Amino acid sequence: MCANETQIESLMQEERLFRPSRKDQMKAHVKSMKEYKAYYKESMEDPEGFWARRAEELITWNKKWRKVLRWDFNDPKIEWFIGGKLNVSYNCLDRHLENGRRNKAALIWQGEPEEDVKVYTYQMLHTEVCRFANVLKKLGVKKGDRVSIYLPMIPELPIAMLACARIGAPHSIVFAGFSASSLESRIQDCKAKVLITADAVLRSGRTIPLKPNADQALKNCPTVEKCVVVKRAGNEINMEEGRDLWWHELMADESIKDTCEPEIMDAEDMLFILYTSGSTGKPKGVIHTTGGYLTYAAHTTQWVFDLKDDDVYWCTADIGWITGHTYIVYGPLALGGTSLMFEGVPTWPAPDRFWKIVEKFKVNIFYTAPTVIRALMREGVEWTQKHDLSTLRILGSVGEPINPEAWMWYHENIGKGKLPIVDTWWQTETGGILIAPLPYATPLKPGSATLPLPGVDAAIVRSDGTPAKKNEGGYLVVKRPWPGMLRGVFGDPERFKKQYFDRFPGMYESGDGARRDEDGYFWIMGRLDDVINVSGHRLGTAEIESALVSHPSVAEAAVVGMPHPVKGQTIYAYVTLKAGLEESDDLRAELRNHVRKIIGPIASPEYIQFAVGLPKTRSGKIMRRILRKIVAGETEDFGDTSTLADPSVIEDLIKGNKELTGNK
Ligand code: PRX
């Protein structure tokens, strides 16, 4: 169910304005608002010319395109750089061997144990990628075959991705925090031929077995012929004869060569599939293709992070999410940058883990999520003061709105009151950043993602598709394609159309609400659909509900996001038990565990309220608006409740919520 724009209001009325320093401006890729405005104007008047120039500046093509763009949002069909040929791994590796970067660090890996550090130069990474590409070929993987990857944050993950890209096999990465059953459904959906996994994940000082999840998933995945296993922790695991093979043994094979010719791909050939949550139960396989995605990844990394050759750039995301795909791997490596990759968590062994790493590697550009900032804010400034953060020059934020308090803390304590913060709004579907400041051009307002990047025709519309007025909340849409946008939903063209192009004909619907202020700045207000954002992780309430109702005790479940000071939102489930069953804390624990098993720990509800009835309309639809208001403690005005079948359930729900959470 979606809120309409009259219900959308922004709480943020931020007046502070921060301007970039003159000195940094002179050296930046985009130097001023004047330059930004000129690029923006050009990109709207001549989008094909603008993107053709960027694609030529940033990417090496084996064959130039015939036509820059063909699109129809009604069909929907989007094609960029038609007829163009290239290889992504060539662009991320080979070309840097000839342009003076051969011995430059491409990847710096900091493992969870302090002493676990590996540095790969471009030459070394090239060799590893070629070798693994040859391994994949030997296992029978051919151009177009899908490869699922279920790995922790270890170097084998980007190596596997780039090896897939090298031979033209689309990868589908599944975040290692997902359960066996989530992995299973993703492998089944894309019909992967090979799975790459590891024995375990190291996290917060613990060894969390991973291979048993893969074993469980593979019981029902007949398309998977081989499973490659990386030894990360050395824990005891089961290796299935004939199916499971050790990464290190495959790579040590003398017949495996150090070079592998890159497969020449069409610009519109699929590069990867990445599953993300939507408003229905089943995650969607978002498709990204080769030429447009890579151009967009390189373009946004260069302009938004102002990435330069001697920078150490660190994006703290997990590669299992889109942020890691675009801003740890493809964007920085396409530009020949040095990308730092980190295994672990921000608070272990101590809350200065991130700042210690910044100091250790002299990080220049640092990109993280608001939930991390809020969590570290709570730990106090003594942790930030212990370290020399003076190498930093740009800070970034992604995943959810950054509240002005967290923004100011980040600015003052990490940026020492001087550094620009780029609050970047985008989605799995957009492939790269759409709305964000350019660090040395755009004056900043804490809490606003500021302005659309050149080439991005973002707008706010009302539910009838007409433009919203200044400061009026509405639906955030994009009115024309950009090269990094998704090209489809794997195996489900109907869903692609329905989800993104049906409500507002001729526009891409993001699913987010936003308003635009008098300066044209965007203030993102969060999802308008049944998607919630827990610590920057995107989850569909319908997915969690269907996990809950798959438990034998549950008759019905409704899940909403409850505002949370650190996580942004936390998961709150209303559960109706089957007749005659006792409510108990044990059952709550069992249900939480059940959801962990079905989806993964990130989807486990923090609160489970047992409810005798849910607020339903006479036609049987649950009015989630009411449930959301209850968990937010906004019980004064529920709006129009005249269609409710039994309004009396509301009082019981409020009472139950107070008992559970102590909401006043
Ligand atoms: O609601 C928006 C929120 O995250 C959603 C996209 O989630 P996902 O596909 O997992 O990608 C996350 C990383 C790009 C969006 O629909 N979101 C992301 N960035 C921001 C944001 N909300 C506000 N401000 C942001 N900077």
Q: Over the stretch 419-445, which tens digit does the pLDDT of each residue have? A: 999 999 999 999 999 999 999 999 999
Q: Is the pLDDT score of 218 beyond 50?
A: yes
CA 114 to CA 121: how far, in whole Å? Answer: 20
- Give the distance from CA 6 to its chain's centroid: 29
Residue 46 confidence (pLDDT) above 80 = yes
Q: 3-class DSSP state for residue 217? A: helix
Q: 22-515: what fold?
A: Rossmann fold (3.40.50)
Kindly give the distance from the C-alpha atom of residue 538 to the centroid of ligand 1, in angstroms, as a whole number. Answer: 8
pLDDT above 70 for 80: yes
How far apart are the C-alpha atoms of 634 and 126, rounded to whole Å?
56
How confident is the model over 403-416, as a mean pLDDT? 94
Q: Which residues of 46-73 are buried (b: 16+ CB within 10 A; e: fewer)?
A: ebeebbbebbeebbebeeebeebbeeeb
DSSP helix/strand/coil, 492: coil
Residue 553 has pLDDT above 50, yes or no: yes
- What is the per-residue pLDDT across 606-637, written as a single tens digit (0 to 9) for each? 999 999 989 988 878 888 889 999 999 998 88
| Distance of alpha carbon 221 from alpha carbon 236, whole angstroms | 23
What whole-number distance in Å separates Cα of residue 515 and Cα of residue 467? 11
CB of residue 526 inside a 6 A radius of ligand 1: yes
pLDDT of residue 10: 39
Please tell me the residue having the least CA distance from ligand 1 atom 21: 400
Q: Which of 19-23, 300-304, 627-631 has the highest mean pLDDT?
A: 300-304
> Which pLDDT score is estimated for 24?
76
Q: How confident is the model at residue 639 (pLDDT cuts 50, 70, 90)?
A: confident
Quick one: pLDDT band at residue 644, thresholds 50, 70, 90? Answer: confident
User: For residue 271, how many C-alpha atoms fall within 13 Å in the half-sphere facing its CB?
Assistant: 29
Range 365-390 average pLDDT: 95
Nearest in space to 320 (alpha carbons), one of 481, 477, 210: 210
- Does residue 368 have its Cβ closer than 6 Å to ligand 1? no
Residue with tokens 């596997």, as numbered in its chain = 160
Q: Please, which residues have CB within 8 angstroms of residue 419's CB and are 6 or more apart in sequence?
A: 392, 393, 394, 395, 411
Q: How would residue 2 be classed by pLDDT, with cut points 50, 70 and 90?
A: very low
pLDDT band, residue 17 (cuts 50/70/90): low
Residue 339 labeled ligand binder: no
Q: What's the whole-number mean pLDDT along residues 265-275? A: 98
Residue 535 annotated in ligand binding: yes
ipTM: 0.99
Return mean pLDDT, the chain. 94
pLDDT computed for residue 15 by the predictor? 57
Q: Is the CB of 182 under 6 A from ligand 1?
A: no
Amino acid (one-letter) located at 197: T
| Residue 538 counted as an annotated binding residue | yes
Residue 279 pLDDT more than 80?
Answer: no
Which among 460, 512, 535 is the best mutation to test ligand 1's pocket, defined by most ligand atoms within 8 Å of the CB? 512
Mutation probe of ligand 1 site: the residue of 425, 539, 569 with most atoms within 8 A of C-beta:
425
User: Which ligand 1 atom is nearest residue 317's CA?
Assistant: 13
CATH fourth-level superfamily of 531-661: ANL, C-terminal domain (3.30.300.30)
Cα of 579 vs centre of ligand 1, distance in Å, is 40
Q: What is the pLDDT of residue 559?
A: 95
- Average pLDDT score over residue span 562-573: 94
Maximum distance among all Cα pairs of the chain, rounded to whole angstroms = 74
| Cβ of 511 less than 6 Å from ligand 1 | yes
Ligand 1 center from residue 427 Cα (angstroms): 5
Strand 312-315 and strand 338-342: the pairing is: parallel
Q: Which residues are CB-contacts of 132 (< 8 A; sequence separation ≥ 6)?
A: 159, 160, 163, 251
Indicate the pLDDT class of residue 11, thresholds 50, 70 and 90: very low
Mean pLDDT of the region 208-233:
98
Q: Which residue has the higher pLDDT, 1 or 288?
A: 288
Quote the ligand 1 centre to 211 CA distance (angstroms): 30
Is residue 423 marked as binding?
yes
- Ligand 1 mean position to 5 CA, how many Å? 19
Percent of the chain scored above 70 by pLDDT?
Answer: 97
Predicted confidence (pLDDT) at residue 191 exceeds the cutoff of 60? yes
Atom of ligand 1 nearest to the CA of 511: 16
Cα angle 145, 343, 396; round to 5: 95
**Hey, where are the domains in the chain?**
22-515, 531-661
